[in-house]
Amino acid sequence: MVTTTLALSPVPAAGDDLSIWPGSTTRLPHGALAVGGVDLTDIAESFGTPAYVLDEGEVRERCRTYRAAFPDADILYAAKAFLSRAMVRWIAAEGLGLDVCSAGELELAVTAGFPADRMVLHGNAKSPHDLEAALRLGVGRIVIDNPPEIARLAAAVGQEGSQKVMIRVVPAVSAGGHSKIRTGTEDQKFGLSLTDGQAHHAIAGVLGQPQLELTGLHCHIGSQVTNAKPYIVAVRRMVGLMARVRDTHGVVLSELDMGGGHGIAYRPGEAALDITALARRMRAELSEGCAAARLPVPRLIIEPGRAVAGPAGVALYRVLSVKRTGERTFIAVDGGMSDNPRPALYGVRYAPRLIGRHSTAETCTATVVGRHCEAGDILAADVDLPGDIRPGDLLAVPVAGAYQLSMASGYNLVGRPPLVAVHDGRARLLIRRETLDDYRARDVGL
């Protein structure tokens, strides 16, 4: 455990924007930064690099922001963004539920003490093991994503059993920061189409299975959405479908899950979704739409993941080399796409920062690259960093808490980095570094 006594720098450097960093971030002398009251350079020295830092206070504060904005809704943290036993306990303590996508996520949460009935299981292709674990542990809701799943789930539940379910609907709304994370349109693998009748057939199919209790509808329009308007359009279409279910089947659904995908800023000046404004507009649309359709207002459910975990994380890297080729400067670090594949997958752009020393050199435009054998192993393209950056320097990358460690791989057998939690001036290891011994233990054949 690392404990830090801090001497704060009284005057911020000109143009030194910390707007996307955790709210606890403070400047220290000699170009250092502290998060959660802990000097990031101390973490690098104690735990090595690459390393991930997660600010517990920031996670909890973001949970409270959602609770304040949506006081009458069920808020489910999307575990796919990042999950650990400590994260499960923080989420539980702040009164949120969990959105899980596999038996692994479900069982980790249960072993950390999270009640299964406060979870919703998703997945476009749930395995028999996923469904068996969900039924055995008593998951609160299972979201049906395709027609064959209805009969499969009903058979698994059995004639004497009962399981609450929702239907995932594709509302034909295009939203999201990249084509690979737009999930509300017709041309992707998730959900059942509203426009071609698939959703209606699935609803009838569930209602024909007495052991399945249809509690509501679910939709997820995409990820990294920074404008409230697509959500409002989706609410309107989902209310219309709920009215049709009532008129066709005489069933009034009590829940409406609008998913997550709430966008955050990865670099200063980028747009982020205003959660308070979203809540106000979504509640108004839901109330007005239900009144017009003569429906009771359903219980609203939302599933933020990135917006809770992302801004609470910081990645730390050590510079290994600096190469100047023509007009390009490449800064190679000791991590890369094995701990953060998002730039290669989605073209995400980050804002790395030199920490641990103060530089008076003029800035240069550089590309921060990883250590892996791929030309696409780029962590941050065309970013401004001090022109005197050199091997041994530390770089810190904010907004690193979501979809980085959770998507990390074993490429080149480098080993996944550790995760260190910081809070009130103390640092503690949550997830240890992956080692060669871990790989040897899994490699059981010769």
Give the list of residues 6+ apart from residue 88 with CB closer than 8 angstroms, or none.
Answer: 98, 108, 109, 112, 113, 114
Are 90 and 59 contacting, i.e. CB atoms less than 8 angstroms apart?
Answer: yes
Alpha carbon of 331 to those of 306, 323, 390, 395: distances in Å?
A: 27, 7, 8, 10
Across 212-254, the runs of DSSP E, i.e. the strands, are: 212-218
User: Closest by alpha carbon to 305, among 98, 142, 125, 167?
Assistant: 98
Q: Find the catalytic residue in 63, 219, 364, 373.
A: 373
| DSSP notation for 87-151 | HHHHHHHTT-EEEE-SHHHHHHHHHTT--GGGEEE--TT--HHHHHHHHHHT-SEEEE-STHHHH
219 catalytic per annotation: no
- b (16+ CB within 10 A) / e for 252-280: ebebbbbbbbbbbbbbeeeebbebeebbe
Residue 374: HSE in the Cβ half-sphere, 13 Å Cα cutoff: 16
The H helix count followed by the E strand count for the chain is 12, 22
Q: What share of the chain is helix, strand, coil (3-state, %, to 5)?
A: 35, 25, 40
Tell me which residues are annotated as active site: 373
